[in-house]
Structure 1
């Protein structure tokens, strides 16, 4: 291989037709008896090598990939464009009809249109409201059916017992302070002092007269009933 390359370089430098004694200047790699024959043999082997190189086939496919029809034509894109054009044509026809109707009827404007106000979440809110009302009714039913754990009547009886115990262990009778406060009257200020003193004197005389003994009082002091006193 290297020998053939070297011979090709030497043959390129020297043309055989112009230079008749080129074989004399040829320098083979190996020692030979005839330079002319060695040059011809090297040239033949090199030509055979070049033919083999040109006729060889590659083991790796370096060709471009195959072009498929559905990739080049793109039917989906064409279909979308057709649908878009059909939509535009339909809208144009509707607009044309509207313009023609306006031209015929002098273009009257009808702005008195009444629409019912609708809520998008109305049904959902109604369902949630029904669900909440049902749960509240169930909770109310459970609360009404449950029995109380504490007895208020028993609490009242216990409190009466404690009052009795407090009265029994008290040193002074209960409620005497409140009675004394009710009996006391506020002393008036200023020039009403004399009137207050006169009123107190009159009250004292009235109280003495009211303390006259009577039959009923005597009976009460003795601890007898008036009916029994009559019987006596």
Structure 2
């Protein structure tokens, strides 16, 4: 062991020297008993990082859907095995067959209406007269200040009543 430093002044207090000696010896023991401070252990693992509950729940739901579909398929196969390939006579399309008459009646009604439309078009009178329109165009070209719109049916009556502007035309509903 190392020697304890000696006091340079011989008349100094011996108690003071003992206290220094004791602290020095304690320091040396601590230095000898010191352990390395570098932590070489792996980091601590946390369970919530490795055990993902949301993923487990999603997987459980997926498996329950698969189990349910497998059960339904098993029931269908079992019912097919019981009937031995014969039909059971059930008609799941009764709703469609009940509406068949209504659909046929609606179809016949639409066909009749479609036959009436061309007849109405042939029997209706034209609203605009092409010849009158050409005459008005020629008259307007000759006299641009005078505006007369007689190419529409009833325009003569409108002109007599003072309505000679095109946007004030009176539309008649044909029935």
TM over 0.5: no
Larger radius of gyration: 1
Return the TM-score normalized by structure 1: 0.24
Q: Which has the higher contact order (CA 8 A, sep 6+)?
A: 2
Larger helix share, 1 or 2: 1
Return the TM-score normalized by structure 2: 0.30
